Amino acid sequence: MRIKDGFVLRQVADSYVVMSLGGELSFNGMIALNETGALIWRSLEQLLDIDAIVERLVSEYEIDRVTAERDVASFIEKIRQAGVLE
């Protein structure tokens, strides 16, 4: 699973936004992310698989695995619907 070329994560003050630099026609606007979303995004940029991303969330935020799996699945589904994944 890969993020399409031309999409970038930027930090603006204490917030994170995903923008399209390539004029992706199916993408309209920006996606605002919280810190957890930014961690998942960066993990996808590093081509980590879902299990590795879940482990990263469990380690970073000291949450249980079930919650981390749910959060990762939800995030991936949202960006898939936005047309950001290949």
Q: Which residues pair with 16 in a beta bridge?
A: 11, 33
Q: Pairing state of beta strands 15-20 and 31-33?
A: antiparallel
> Is 3 in contact with 25 (CB distance < 8 Å)?
no
Q: How far is the C-alpha of 6 from the C-alpha of 67, rounded, in Å? A: 30
Tokens read off for 53 = 């991303």
Predicted confidence (pLDDT) per residue in 9-49, tens digit: 999 888 999 988 765 545 567 789 999 999 999 999 999 99
- On average, the pLDDT of the chain sits at 90
Q: What is the pTM of this model?
A: 0.88
Report, as an integer, the average pLDDT of 47-74: 96
Tokens read off for 62 = 């000291």
